[in-house]
Structure 1
């Protein structure tokens, strides 16, 4: 069967497009360039990134053996990211994909010994808390071919503002990418995440917001439309609608792999409808888009913001998808925006 991996000449463009994403997540830009320059075909990507991740695990274990805990934590964090980026392709080798995702999750646990990890059939998460008494919580929602480990740097920004962060993977995402298909009723995943937060005494479960990325930006909006316990929502580069016949193979192959069939993939794409859910979002809602984020078949986030009763739209003129090449133009202010909306009444 012809797949994304069979598309000719993809490697240089794919490496260039993913470079801001990788650097913003925390990969060393020089090492990223070195690893991707050594590839001759897109099929080599997963193996090369796994190899880099395994090298960092070895470095971390060596540092641990010599009592260098800070160096070990740094190396485990790098390992988690490299292993995660081995999974950003719609790899038809599901066993290899699952092994890389599991190794990434294990490295993250070893990198963050003070964090708390959750593992349930339909939810995996990591809760990181600042040095504050009963802080509010932001639930961080990933998107397509992404996961909780990718947004550690964004979580760091919120932690510095005294906000706890629960980064999650739902079915078909991150650690759970091959364990179950995507959940089209994603409000169920967020509902469970908020339940977990409410049950705790060390965070304030009455003050919860969402920060949702890419496809997760729409899933987060869907969740906010159904979950009144969410105080505020930020969606970064969310789709407002998808035209299946115009989507690139990277997207359609991912949808098929993560939903289980071509029919389920088309149905999942059809459900993405800003006009249906945005009017139901009563919370303060900020949508962040990049003006240079032009993906065939994808309507960007402006309709979500325009149709929501309390929506606002922040367009970054030079921004790409996820606006990671212009993070300084939106992230500090947006983190402050979330913090304000999570303040005590």
Structure 2
């Protein structure tokens, strides 16, 4: 199996492939160019990204001390994203996960003091409620293989602007839980735990719960919709219908090995990723979004899922890359509006 870090041209490919994902998450595009232009090899990725995170964290601490809460929130959020993207290569970066999570908590403390952190047996999440709404519907935001709560902050913001509460979660193998847990193909159990916690509250409407899930999270979201009747609608972005281990590129295989712990565990996980029997059980209204340029060997994208689900809609953005991050304006407002409509 070819090692990811040994692939020719891997630095340039990784810089180009991550650019739209990082920028759509909130990283300043000019700073991304400045940081990545200084990389001499792929081994420079983690130390330089974490250095950028430390720079923003220092700015945040200075602003916080001076009582400039808006600037502190912005800098802590930037720090969180730089620390997060230091972890997206298939190489260990245990500190990056913790630093990202800590900075994101501090960003919300300075910008959304009513945000609540919730811990379950297999997840950690942040609950945010729209300021002007009482008993709002709530949407779970589910990340993918190497993403996290912090990466989809802007997705949660789009939902909050439409009067929807959000519970963004990191489950096994994700975000701050990644260093000590392994991904699970039975993600419906994680979503079920999150809904159990929501049902104990009186400040959100637990009769109107939806889900938006991205990348491998699209698979997680699909199995959750199929097994969890308390979910009433879903959006899946750059998800996958099935996965074939022998055909997967090194980035995916080595990330799976890193996150699951062993090559055999990674193969076993990949074998479980198949929605052919699950899709017909999805009865909720469902929007599946794919990018036409998002072609990963060994991965079948979401069109079969949308076709086989009972109420599936399919939106393909021809020029879209993975996460359709390079054309987010073409799907995120539409997806947020659809969730608002379905949960109204």
TM range, normalised to the smaller chain? over 0.9
Higher mean C-alpha displacement, 1-10 vs 15-24: 1-10
- Secondary structure of residue in 1 paired with 2:173: coil
2:219 touches 2:240 (CA, 8 Å); kept in 1? yes
Is 1:107 aligned with 2:70?
no
Partner of 2:56: 56
Cα distance in 2 between the residues matched to 1:38 and 1:126: 35
Moved over 4 A (4+): none
Higher mean C-alpha displacement, 260-269 vs 230-239: 260-269
2:120 touches 2:194 (CA, 8 Å); kept in 1? no
Is 1:319 aligned with 2:315?
no
Cα distance in 2 between the residues matched to 1:120 and 1:236: 25
- Secondary structure of residue in 1 paired with 2:89: coil
Partner of 1:244: 245
- Aligned residue pairs total 339
Partner of 1:161: 162
Cα distance in 2 between the residues matched to 1:80 and 1:203: 27
Is 1:225 aligned with 2:226?
yes
Deviation by residue 1:76-133 (Cα, 9 ceiling, x = unmatched): 0111111101111111x3xxx2211111111111110221112344201111111111
Residue 51 of structure 1: how far off its partner (Å): 0.6
Cα distance in 1 between the residues matched to 2:78 and 2:35: 14
Partner of 1:198: 199
2:185 touches 2:273 (CA, 8 Å); kept in 1? no
The 5 Å alignment of 1:174-213 reads 174-213=175-214
The 5 Å alignment of 1:234-273 reads 234-273=235-274
2:97 touches 2:175 (CA, 8 Å); kept in 1? yes
Cα distance in 1 between the residues matched to 2:289 and 2:234: 11
Structure 1: 5+ residue runs without aligned partners? none
Cα distance in 2 between the residues matched to 1:43 and 1:2: 17
1:199 touches 1:205 (CA, 8 Å); kept in 2? no
- Secondary structure of residue in 2 paired with 1:267: helix
Partner of 2:41: 41
2:158 touches 2:336 (CA, 8 Å); kept in 1? yes
Residue 2 of structure 1: how far off its partner (Å): 6.4
Cα distance in 1 between the residues matched to 2:70 and 2:337: 29
1:198 touches 1:206 (CA, 8 Å); kept in 2? no
Structure 2: 5+ residue runs without aligned partners? none
Cα distance in 1 between the residues matched to 2:149 and 2:106: 15
Cα distance in 2 between the residues matched to 1:161 and 1:221: 23
- Secondary structure of residue in 2 paired with 1:220: helix
Residue 258 of structure 1: how far off its partner (Å): 1.3
Pair 1:126–1:37, CA change in 2 (3 A): same
Partner of 2:134: 133
2:232 touches 2:343 (CA, 8 Å); kept in 1? yes
- Secondary structure of residue in 2 paired with 1:106: helix
2:303 touches 2:314 (CA, 8 Å); kept in 1? yes
1:288 touches 1:314 (CA, 8 Å); kept in 2? yes
Partner of 2:75: 75
Q: CA RMSD in A?
A: 1.1
Is 1:22 aligned with 2:22?
yes
